[in-house]
Structure 1
Amino acid sequence: MPQLPAPEYPAEVRERLAADAKEIIGRYPDSRSALLPLLHLVQSEEGYVTRTGMRFCADMLELTTAEVTAVATFYTMYRRKPSGDYQVGVCTNTLCAVMGGDAIFSELKEHLGVGNGETTDDGKITLEHIECNAACDFAPVVMVNWEFFDNQTPESARQLVDDLRAGQTVEPTRGAPLCTFKETARMLAGFPDGRPGAVEATGGAGPASLIGLRLAKGESPHPRVVHPRGAAPQGESPGGHPSSHDAPQQTSASDPAHPAGPVTEEGE
C-alpha cells in the first residue's frame, strides 16, 4: 500500500518555521547545505524529525523527500521517534566502560525500566549508550542533552535521572546550564543560546590531557624513573612523574631479580 503524503504543519507553525528556515538558508551559498541545521530546526519543534518535518525541509530547499530522508536516517543525532525531554547518554566506549560506564548503563536500564534508545513512560528520559565524547579525563561520563556529568557512579547517575524526572534543578559538572532536548536542537540549528551564564560557560580539558602541555612549558618536575617493584633505588626519593617511559633505566634496576647490568659501549 502506498504511503500517504506527510501532513503539513498548522499555518501558524509553518509560518514561524519558514521565517527561521529562511534565516538559516541565507547563511549558505548553496541552499542544500542548510539541510543539517534545518533538520535540527524541525526537531526542535516536535522533539524528533517527523515526516512533516522532512517534507518541510524538502519544500524549503527544493529537494525530494527521499533526499531529506536519506540524510535524516544517516545521522544518529536526528531522532526518528518521540523521545524524552532529556537524552541521557552513558559513554560505553573502552575507557568509560572499564571505569564503570557499563555498570552505570545497566543500573539505569533496570532503574528506569527501559532499554537502549527507549523513553520512560512519563516522556522525561530517553536512555542510550553513546560513543566517546572526548572526556576521558573524567571517566565514566554521562551526558544529558550533550552537557557533561563527569566521574559518575551507578548511584550518582540514578540520583541524576530521579532529579530530572522530579523537575529538580540539575547542574552539569562543567559547561553550559542544562536545557531541554528541544532547546538544544534549536541551538544546534544555529540560533543563539540565551540562557543566563551559557555564554560564559566553558568546558576545558582535564588534568591528564594537560600533562603534555605542562611538560612542554617546563611546568612539571623532570621525569623520574619509576621502578615497578615498589621501592626506588637507594638514594632516590619516591614521587615525581608517574610514567616509567620518560627516562631510560638499566636492566638491573628494572628487574632486580635478574640483574644483568648495563650494556657498555664496547658490547661487554
Structure 2
Amino acid sequence: MIDVVASEWLKLRSLRSTYYVMASLLSAVVLTGLSAFSISRYYDLNGPGGAPVGTGLSTSADVVFVLFGVLGVLAVSGEFQSGMIRLSLIRIRRPWMLIVAKAAVVAAVAAVAGQVLAFAAYFTAQAVVGARPIGASLSDPAALPEVLATGVGAAVAAVTGLCLATLLRSTAGALISVVAVMPGPAMIERFLPAPWNDWTGSLTITSLTRQLAGVPDSGAFGAAGAGAALLGYVVILILLAAAAITRRDA
C-alpha cells in the first residue's frame, strides 16, 4: 500500500494541473483582502453596524473548496481519458487500493495547502483591518478553530472531486458536478419546510467546516455532528468510487 501511495504522490506532483490549481488558490487571498478592504471602508464611513470581517475566511471559502474539488477531479480524470488507469490497475490486484491511495494523497496535499492558504487569508484580512474592531484575534474562541478547520474542509473537498471523477469517468462531467454539489444543499434548502431547510442548508462543506470550528450561527449541527457529516462524505464517496472501479472496466 505504501508503494501505491508513493506512486500516486509522484503522479500528482507530475501533473501541471496541480500547479495551476494551486496558483488559482491565490485568488482566494486576493478576494479576502478586497472584501476586508470593502468592509473596512464601510466602517470608516458609517461606523459600527455593518458586517464584521472576522477571520475573513467566509468570504472566499466557497471558491477555495470548489478549487480543491477541481484538484481532486484532475488527479484522476486524465488517467481515465488517456486510458493510463488500466496500467495502474494491472499492477494492483485490488482496485479499491488505488482509490484509497489517491484519496490519501489528494487529502493530504489539500489539507496542507488549505491550511497554508487559510493562514495567509486570515493574516491578509487582519492586515487590511488594522486597529479597527471588526477583525478577529486568534485568541477569540472560534477564530483559530475556524482557520484550522479550513484544512479539513479542503481535504474533504478534494476527496469529493476525486470520487466524482472516478464515478463519472469524465473530466467535464466531474467538474460540473463539483460546482453543482458544493453549494447544492444550500440551493435545495429554500424549497424545503422547517426544520428540513436548516438541516439541508447546513450540509455544504463550507457550512460544515464552520460548524466543526464552532463558529456561532453557522448551521444546525454542533461540532460533533459536523465532524460526523464530513467523515460521512469521505467514507460514502470512497466506498462508491471503490465499488465503481472494482465492478466495471476502467
TM-score by length of 1: 0.25
Larger proportion of strand: 1
Q: Which has the higher contact order (CA 8 A, sep 6+)?
A: 2
TM-score by length of 2: 0.26
Specify the structure having the higher radius of gyration (Cα): 1
